[in-house]
Amino acid sequence: MSVDRATVFRIARLARIAITDAEAERLESELSGILDWVAQLDELDTANVEPMTRVEAMTMKMRKDEVTDGFCAADIVKNAPQEDDHYFVVPKIVE
């Protein structure tokens, strides 16, 4: 697959990256090479390959799903400039 100069500039604009014509020429060949490599991957038969999230098979560590306050609410609120009944007091900004 080939990427043209206009596509390189469009990608750069979408990424909010300013590039020169020389950089666009280099990126044109690099992006085309990347897309050619991805096209090669499409040729592989992956019908018998199970989906995986990581290279090494492992199980997730489970814990009880308990709702807690973290047991440190007092430590958190003690640094607040103002607090009221374990809540932060902030200036009113909306009328």
Q: Are 86 and 73 in contact (CB under 8 A)?
A: yes
pTM over 0.85, yes/no: no
The label of the residue with tokens 């014509």 reads 21
Task: Please give the angle made by the CA atoms of 20, 21 and 22, to the nearest 5 degrees.
Answer: 90
Beta bridge partners of 88: 83
Give me the residue spans of the domains in the chain. 5-43
pLDDT one digit per residue (tens) for the chain, 95 residues: 789 999 999 999 999 999 999 999 999 999 999 999 999 988 999 899 888 888 888 888 888 888 887 888 888 888 889 999 888 999 888 87
CATH number of this structure's domain 5-43, picked from the four choices 1.10.20, 1.10.3470, 3.90.550, 1.10.10: 1.10.20
